[in-house]
Chain A
């Protein structure tokens, strides 16, 4: 069954020092399996909050998040843990590998947390490491790996439970550009080759990286400002689902999205490779 994640009027607020900050403001959005999606936006826009809610790391204050028809917004902590373990794979900016575990043990960690014995899952972990090009590093500890290698281990770990959703938080944020590109390649490969159902969602400040994805969701001030299909060359463009503020849909037309910042405004240029039926500059004022 193809993955579908539906967010409907999701609100998340934080209370700090007597003030309330609305990190997400009635966001409505659909994520589909097979897409490699990036979420971009300035600092404090709500990108990470959106990622946290998608991954059930947190719960919204209101609204609905349906994961293949199952509501995850109101799950208990234990239910969220089980959900994350089986349905989501995480790739973190700072790799988050356990320093005392070897590469294959880090990959096998989700299985360990699922009640499996390490020995039982070694073969699967080694196979995943092989897939990400680290077949000769299985017994190395994180301290013995480069940044790019550590992130590859993290990707392998994210795939260990074969989840339909991969969430990557700034996966190239701590890497140089060539290593980052290699990781992007890996993530794209993950979204393409593992059947039509797996979705990869990446939060990034790296606009060049975002441009390589199938879909770019721009978030600002807690709202989705734009939601366009990118030149990722993958899944055909499909209209994003409406309901949020300033959503823009591009139908069945390959496009190239060039996000930029001009005069203090976060802007994305949409360039169409075919004669445009619709061309425009989309700007979202930053308050």
Chain B
């Protein structure tokens, strides 16, 4: 039976696809787009978490727990004894692990103590020989072991950032070394690594191995008590979980585009199937007359849809892998800044099968709705002339059911979006596409009547066009929905993205009010490292500088999540501070409370007035939440406190940024140039506007991806529209021939078809703009929850341009079939079968 079905698929359906290859390619492409997005976004997130996990395993092996610093400064070395002395801790291995540059190449600096042999990991395997020699890692004072990926030869002298030259005593390669940061590492004795990384007396982490039979949860609790809240005690996998949070925003936006494009692909699959059945009606009726069962014919059509979905899924997956692979090396620096692992492309094995399955299901499900039209093809139609096809509007019962289903879907979408369910709300936007489409089907009678009314406005030719629209309501509905889909997608997706970016940039607007920023990082990066000491004093001494406001940024672990800490001083232009009431600002500066970004408050389930306990290197600190502020941090959230509190609690003296006010009358550019001369070469100096541009540029990549998706949908919709209109003309060859025979000019025939297209295009575009704006509004609410800022819904004037472009595409798409109709040979057309 399966072989017979395959035989039919090959002979009947695949050949039809090959005959109408343009439509088939368009269907495959639109499915491939959504598949590519899904695979790309899952590949990138899988690579980030996979790379971190792999590194953690490569270093720690089967370590049960890890004690690490709350901030990037690690823990005091004295904590090693505390950890090692905790009950049921068999071994505590101290580590330095930090990013560095080895002769300009990114590398991971690893510092190992005497008991590195406890690790039983790729790290230990890589340096096994050195360990077996019974010596410390190396015998030379500046000797290190390097991974083969760095391209450093044995015995070669090279430099690590900020150090004097080192000697590569050994170069290790092999599978174990390759798994360890792709052999891009420098392994040094602990003391040397501490000196190279500027962390004398400190450790990045302590790997804990429990005694056989000990309960890791009990040991964890005991360690937490032992460290007195001054360190993070977690499983080594927590780093991967933290890393995924840095990707959350891009993931949210791309998932939105992927889910929308999957719905659009499903709708266009429905369209393609409707057109296919209309075009193959004579063939289907013949097969029915010859004894083909409806069930058989329908299942063959669904198999065809599954094939298209499968091909699109495979093709898209291939592109998605390529896009993901390229994207890994081009992620915004704000997303990779906190990662110490070298990002390698890691695609979870389930991604491609899941994506292909999703594409097949979407294609088959959408096509199944259209394939039901096979039931309407009666075998007696085989006795009628080819091409005469009845296209009813769809039963009243079906339209009512569709209306109810559409309203229900929209209600669910609104409910999910307003409930603030994060990324689920983003994915639910795709449901709104389905809901609106169902409503459009329910009101198809009204919509078709409107299109006909518009066509009638174009004179006698328009009257004919209107008659054509009214006579084939289902086909015209399909054509109109194609226009509508393109407009809705463009308006909703690009509009919502633009709103999100504009709102995000606007939320940082106050940083542009600072005349000059002096920072430890570029405007596009997080300034989490401290400026050299005395930088503030040096800058304040520059002529033309009226004031210097320091602040500090750092990453910290709060509730096992990676958050941003902001230490604020008076007169700061940081938005999370300026958004507070004057009373709350003073309370913050006095150290009487902290401000949380709204997303962090939601995830911690706290509100203004609640108390929270922050783990700090100097012990736990219980503070009051002054306010939850809409603030975009690109992580899981931000905690803003006074600079004094941050310096004291987190043992971080100094500042990472300086806001500089230029004296009245002084030239800001000249002052900036003067500041550059007094600061260290690694320090960045830029204007307030440049600081704001830096924020915006990180989001540019997201906009580019979304815009490309929207344009692909538009192009595919145009192809589908062209097919639909061409079919409409082919179906009416005889009718057109009769018109020409009784005296209609070619120009009249052309105008009639253009009027038909105008009716479809205008109504489709107007409806598309209205629905697109509605979906854009829903998306702005969903994004508000995900981005932790208030995304303002702002319909753009460019929407008018989008609507006009859709109409233009519709008219242009109708020109080839209109010209074809006008040029029909009258005799051939009248005798057409």
A residues with CB within 8 A of B: 48, 51-52, 55, 57-58, 77-78, 80-86, 88, 90, 92-94, 96, 98-101, 105, 109-110, 112-119, 157, 161, 169, 174
B4, B286, B289: the one contacting A98 at CB < 8 Å is: B286
B residues with CB within 8 A of A: 1, 3-4, 7-8, 11-12, 15-16, 18-19, 282-283, 286-296, 378-380, 382-383, 385-386, 833
Cα distance, A55 to B288, chains bound together (Å): 12
User: CB distance B289 to A90 under 8 Å?
Assistant: yes
Residues in chain A near residue B833, CB distance under 8 A: 94, 174
Residues in chain B near residue A96, CB distance under 8 A: 282, 286, 289, 382, 386
A174: nearest residue on chain B (CB-CB)?
A: B833
User: CB distance A82 to B12 under 8 Å?
Assistant: no
Chain B nearest Cβ from A69, distance in angstroms = 20
User: CB distance B7 to A117 under 8 Å?
Assistant: yes
User: CB distance A81 to B292 under 8 Å?
Assistant: yes
User: CB distance A86 to B291 under 8 Å?
Assistant: yes
B381: nearest residue on chain A (CB-CB)?
A: A57
Question: What would 7 more interface pairs be, CB under 8 Å, given A81-B379, A119-B7?
Answer: A78-B295, A92-B382, A96-B382, A98-B286, A99-B19, A100-B15, A117-B7
Which of B15, B293, B294, B296 has the most A CB atoms < 10 Å from its CB? B293
Residues in chain A near residue B289, CB distance under 8 A: 55, 57, 84, 90, 92, 96
User: CB distance B380 to A57 under 8 Å?
Assistant: yes
Cα distance, A174 to B831, chains bound together (Å): 11
A48, A77, A92: the one contacting B294 at CB < 8 Å is: A77
User: CB distance B291 to A93 under 8 Å?
Assistant: no
B7, B294, B382: the one contacting A118 at CB < 8 Å is: B7
A48, A81, A93: the one contacting B288 at CB < 8 Å is: A81
B295: nearest residue on chain A (CB-CB)?
A: A78
User: CB distance B286 to A112 under 8 Å?
Assistant: no
Cα distance, A94 to B3, chains bound together (Å): 31
B296: nearest residue on chain A (CB-CB)?
A: A113
Residues in chain A near residue B379, CB distance under 8 A: 57-58, 80-81, 84
User: CB distance B11 to A90 under 8 Å?
Assistant: no
User: CB distance A105 to B11 under 8 Å?
Assistant: yes
Residues in chain A near residue B287, CB distance under 8 A: 109, 113
Chain B nearest Cβ from A264, distance in angstroms = 27
Cα distance, A115 to B289, chains bound together (Å): 16
Residues in chain A near residue B294, CB distance under 8 A: 77-78, 81
16 A-B pairs, CB-CB below 8 angstroms? Answer: A48-B383, A55-B289, A57-B378, A58-B380, A77-B293, A78-B295, A81-B379, A84-B289, A84-B290, A85-B292, A90-B289, A94-B386, A98-B286, A109-B290, A113-B291, A174-B833
User: CB distance B4 to A94 under 8 Å?
Assistant: no
Which of A48, A118, A157 has the most B CB atoms < 10 Å from its CB? A118
B18: nearest residue on chain A (CB-CB)?
A: A100
User: CB distance A94 to B385 under 8 Å?
Assistant: yes
B290: nearest residue on chain A (CB-CB)?
A: A110
User: CB distance A117 to B382 under 8 Å?
Assistant: no
User: CB distance A78 to B380 under 8 Å?
Assistant: no
Cα distance, A100 to B15, chains bound together (Å): 6
Residues in chain B near residue A114, CB distance under 8 A: 291
Contact of A116 with B4 at beta-carbon distance under 8 Å, contacts A48-B383, A98-B283 already known:
yes
Cα distance, A100 to B283, chains bound together (Å): 10
User: CB distance A98 to B12 under 8 Å?
Assistant: yes
User: CB distance B292 to A113 under 8 Å?
Assistant: yes
Cα distance, A161 to B291, chains bound together (Å): 11
Cα distance, A100 to B276, chains bound together (Å): 14
Residues in chain A near residue B11, CB distance under 8 A: 101, 105, 112, 118
User: CB distance B383 to A52 under 8 Å?
Assistant: yes
Chain A nearest Cβ from B30, distance in angstroms = 24
Residues in chain A near residue B296, CB distance under 8 A: 113
User: CB distance B291 to A81 under 8 Å?
Assistant: yes
Pick the 7 closest A-B CB pairs, nearest first: A85-B291, A100-B15, A84-B291, A113-B292, A96-B286, A81-B293, A117-B7
Cα distance, A207 to B11, chains bound together (Å): 39
Residues in chain A near residue B286, CB distance under 8 A: 92, 96, 98
Residues in chain A near residue B15, CB distance under 8 A: 100-101
Residues in chain A near residue B282, CB distance under 8 A: 96
Cα distance, A119 to B8, chains bound together (Å): 11
Chain A nearest Cβ from B81, distance in angstroms = 78
Residues in chain B near residue A100, CB distance under 8 A: 12, 15-16, 18-19
A121: nearest residue on chain B (CB-CB)?
A: B7
Chain A nearest Cβ from B287, distance in angstroms = 6
Residues in chain A near residue B19, CB distance under 8 A: 99-100
Residues in chain B near residue A80, CB distance under 8 A: 379
